[in-house]
Chains A and B, each alone.
Chain A
């Protein structure tokens, strides 16, 4: 993968922005907890893409390091979040986020 051709950094960042906005749309539009978690994964992935692209721009490994850290975060988040999904399903019998709204003021 060591082609001499280059492409502008903006393109990668634009892709990252689009994916991020899609993830946001998913969080805001879906009521199912599972989809909300997936959307969060999308957003994190978008952020990771921006890091990697920036690291590539500067020929530095730091971008990929941060990608690995985000990966770690995503794994932790997914495991805890999915455990919570299981609990919610057990308690309320549904995956509707609005069902778990007892904490409101």
Chain B
């Protein structure tokens, strides 16, 4: 059974190849069948593998399938090997399961688009790359998937490439994540330099012997890896690309920019947790980055008017929670939150897609309103998904994972992280229910008839994700104990009950506050926003604390200035000099070839004279 592991990524890869080579020659139904079917087969296989894994665990808790030797040069030996353990199984389940549901929804969402087959080929390539990323046994293999998902992210953000704004957003996402990827690559070089291997398990077992805890080398390596992680996961300071990435089709936002790719950074830190445990400074930084990002993104989400941008900031904020958990040493809750977040955020994005299509590609929440009667399924999805996002106590999946994170942060003595997380939870419930109240309550303020979607491809993914976002999703047990370190704090006890009650109360208070502010006339909010500090704050938050502005001044403009100054390219002069010299040489040799026999003979004689002279006198 385990030896079928390679098929999990082979199906989407084959789907990508078929769709890419049959471009424009397959109809929508066939393209959907291939695109959705291949991921569906992967999901079925993953389910079968999970059943096998849970009932008959492989020896040592992990199964490694070596497909072939990728490259071998001296001590540098990279195997093309897949590793199935609790962590990669959990990630695989999220990628293929949620991925399948999103693909199915996309078959409905993208209907009538001229790039239908292209869309599914990119999506399949993404799923295959993401599976590479999580199954890779070597960091180089992981990096291959890492770059593959970056490429697919670029292609899919700019999917509607005819609008230059989409192309700019895609480019921004690509360039900003590239900064992180470069740091990641340098980290890999450094790791190979000090340990002599890129094999993950080998590196993790060698690291404690090689590095003293807190030594500068391991700190530097982990910081560089963290650079890659924050780039991919849109954390401070490389977070600016994610809101713009919402230019892509909504299923893309659901799959790549909410459920899977952006959580790759969390996966990377969890995968290399041994290194981070050797570098306490880096681990503290992971938590700090997560805490600051979740607060900044929370404030920004409060004032956004685009439905997808609200969700994008909430994604940043939720990934901040995962980093926070890892910073507190609670790796298992981080991965657990990763999974529940994939469920409810995919649900929210798909429901948002349903709303957007129903309102004729309108994304401004202030041009919606009162949709709860016209779109009951989307409303239900938003209630459950938003409840999970806000961690509504006991009924939703988000509560179980977020509460676990907060409890571990509190119990392991990271009080600062705990309070940041708690305040972030308060913000989360406010902005989530602000969104829901504005979109689904009050009067309809848009133009045109609202018409709900229908059909299996529309309803099934929403319903399944809706169920998974309730406490059902919170019941799922991930087999992480062998792979990730045990939680720093014990389960149970009265203290945990109190923390849970506190976080639940905060969530409900946030929802109540949102209801007070945004249900009804919203006079108080309007007055608040009209006041001078309110205007200033909301502008500041709306621009996500001006990071775009700052980076524009710090990097983009100086670079553009340099390119303008160097338009003639001084470095080209050297290259052009070669050409000029060759042309001069050519003109000289042309002149020497004048068709005069005597000239040729004289040249030969002179040459002979020179050669003889050289023989004599040298």
Please list the residues of chain A having a beta carbon within 8 angstroms of any beta carbon in chain B.
24, 27-29, 31, 36, 97-98, 100-105
Q: How distant is A23 from chain B, measured CB to nearest CB, in Å?
A: 11
A33 to chain B: closest residue by CB: B597
Pair B597/A36 contact, Cβ less than 8 Å: yes
Number of B residues whose C-beta is below 8 Å from A? 10
Pair B593/A104 contact, Cβ less than 8 Å: yes
Q: How distant is A47 from chain B, measured CB to nearest CB, in Å?
A: 13
Pair A28/B593 contact, Cβ less than 8 Å: no
Task: Name 17 extra pairs, CB < 8 A, besides A101-B596, A104-B594.
Answer: A24-B605, A27-B598, A27-B601, A28-B598, A28-B602, A97-B597, A97-B598, A98-B596, A98-B597, A98-B598, A100-B597, A101-B594, A101-B597, A102-B595, A103-B595, A104-B596, A105-B590
User: Which A residues are CB-close (under 8 A) to B598?
Assistant: 27-29, 31, 97-98
B593 to chain A: closest residue by CB: A105
Pair B601/A101 contact, Cβ less than 8 Å: no
User: Which B residues are CB-close (under 8 A) to A103?
Assistant: 595
Q: How far is the CA of A28 from the CA of B601 in the complex (A)?
A: 7
B598 to chain A: closest residue by CB: A28
| Majority secondary structure, B binding face | helix
User: Which A residues are CB-close (under 8 A) to B593?
Assistant: 104-105
Q: How distant is A13 from chain B, measured CB to nearest CB, in Å?
A: 15
Q: How distant is A102 from chain B, measured CB to nearest CB, in Å?
A: 7
User: Which B residues are CB-close (under 8 A) to A36?
Assistant: 597
A29 to chain B: closest residue by CB: B598
B602 to chain A: closest residue by CB: A28
Q: How far is the CA of A104 from the CA of B593 in the complex (A)?
A: 6
User: Which B residues are CB-close (under 8 A) to A105?
Assistant: 590, 593
Q: How distant is B61 from chain A, measured CB to nearest CB, in Å?
A: 76
Pair A97/B602 contact, Cβ less than 8 Å: no
A97 to chain B: closest residue by CB: B597
Which 5 pairs across A and B sit closest by C-beta, in order of nearness? A104-B595, A101-B595, A105-B593, A97-B597, A28-B602
B residues 576-593 with Cβ under 8 Å of A? 590, 593
A105 to chain B: closest residue by CB: B593
Q: How far is the CA of A102 from the CA of B595 in the complex (A)?
A: 7
User: Which B residues are CB-close (under 8 A) to A102?
Assistant: 595
Q: How distant is A89 from chain B, measured CB to nearest CB, in Å?
A: 16
Q: How far is the CA of A67 from the CA of B248 in the complex (A)?
A: 89
Q: How far is the CA of A28 from the CA of B598 in the complex (A)?
A: 5
Q: How far is the CA of A27 from the CA of B608 in the complex (A)?
A: 15
Q: How far is the CA of A103 from the CA of B600 in the complex (A)?
A: 13
Say which residue of B590, B594, B605 sits within 8 Å of A28 (CB atoms).
B605
A104 to chain B: closest residue by CB: B595
Q: How far is the CA of A101 from the CA of B597 in the complex (A)?
A: 8
